[in-house]
Amino acid sequence: MAPAFGRSISFPLSPARSSSSTKQARHVRSISLPTCRAHPLLAHLHATTRAARAWAAATADPCTTSPSSGLAHLAALHAALAELLVLPEPRAALATAGATAFSDRLLDGLLALADAHGAFRETLVDLRRHAAEAQAALRRRDAARLASAVRAPRRAEKGLARLASSARAAAAASCRLPLPAATAAEVEVSGVLAEALGAAASASAAVFSALEAVSSAATAAAAASAASSKKPAATATLMSLVTRSGKSAASDEDRELAALEKMERLDACIAEMEAGSDEVFRSILHTRVALLNIRTQTC
């Protein structure tokens, strides 16, 4: 027989509601997170949920944020979710008829996140290829090739913006999940899972936006370098020998070096994220499979 849950910790079901005024705070619905020495996974999920939300909230300036650290928070959160769904108490709460609608919506939310992170993995591959082409053009001072190389990443950046928008929509939808109104256990477990899904969606949006910011900065620097070297080679050579000042030549060289540095930074960022993105994608699928197994047992 499974050990009973012990003391409990309470936290607001919706972070958006919890940030309202003090006058409204007394009306915020709260759920109780059962914790026990024998079952620390509920407390662990609560901690990883808060950590993911805190990281997402700290990305007001995406240029100073490491997207790979956000992926680490997401991997930890989904791992905690999958571990929780193995416990008999949450499984029993989600296996009831009253929790069917909630489980279906939760599965939809996880599928949306899996699709977003699957597209994100493809975008990483594209951005890394474009960054390599831009670096090669910068080193060879090939203006035509560089101009072509800086156009391609912009399409990938627009894709990242769309992914971030869809993840924010998933985060908002998690606050409207239909919590079951049958037993206290169902409400408790459902509230914890809804909160975790919302945190995962918010952190995902922040990861996508942070990488978009890093890529945009590198693309802008490369575009500025390309614009400064658009003149034909013969004309540029003549100008450098006859009319070009040493100051302007140094300025062009500084732009090239700055662009190359930012492209190398983008390449390093993508390299760090590739392994993390695979881990997050697999963990989302693992969480969804665990929930599907519970739903299958109730059919």
- Residue 125 resides in a domain: yes
Max CA distance (Å), the chain: 90
Q: How far is CA 143 from the centre of its chain?
A: 34
Residue 42 in any domain: the answer is no
Residue 63 covered by a domain = yes
Query: How wide is the angle at C-alpha 152 spanned by C-alphas 119 and 61, nearest 5°?
Result: 70
* pLDDT attached to residue 254: 79
- As given in the structure block, the two tokens for residue 91 are 């499984």
Residue 257 domain-assigned (yes or no):
yes
Query: What integer pLDDT is reported at residue 118 of this predicted model?
Result: 95
Q: Which residues contact 46 (CB under 8 A, 6 or more apart)?
A: 9, 11, 33, 192
Residue 217 included in any domain: yes
Cα(186)–Cα(285) distance, rounded to whole angstroms? 23
Note whether residue 26 is domain-resident: no
Residue 17 is predicted with a pLDDT of 36
Using alpha carbons, select from 38, 42, 39, 37 the residue that is nearest to residue 11.
42
Please list the pLDDT of the chain residue by residue as tens digits (299 residues): 444 444 343 333 333 333 344 334 333 333 444 433 335 778 889 899 999 999 999 876 655 568 889 999 999 999 999 888 888 888 888 888 778 888 888 999 999 999 999 999 999 999 999 888 888 888 888 888 888 888 888 888 999 999 999 999 988 888 888 777 667 777 778 888 999 999 999 999 999 999 999 888 888 888 887 776 655 443 344 344 444 444 454 477 777 888 888 888 888 889 989 989 999 999 999 999 989 888 877 55
Counted domains in the chain: 1
Please compute Rg for the chain using Cα positions.
25
In the three-class reduction of DSSP (H, G, I as helix; E, B as strand; rest coil), residue 34 is classed as: strand
Q: What is the pLDDT at residue 39?
A: 53
- pLDDT in the model for residue 240: 46
In a domain, 131, yes or no: yes
Residue 144 lies in a domain: yes
- pTM (predicted TM-score): 0.77
Domain that holds residue 88: 48-298
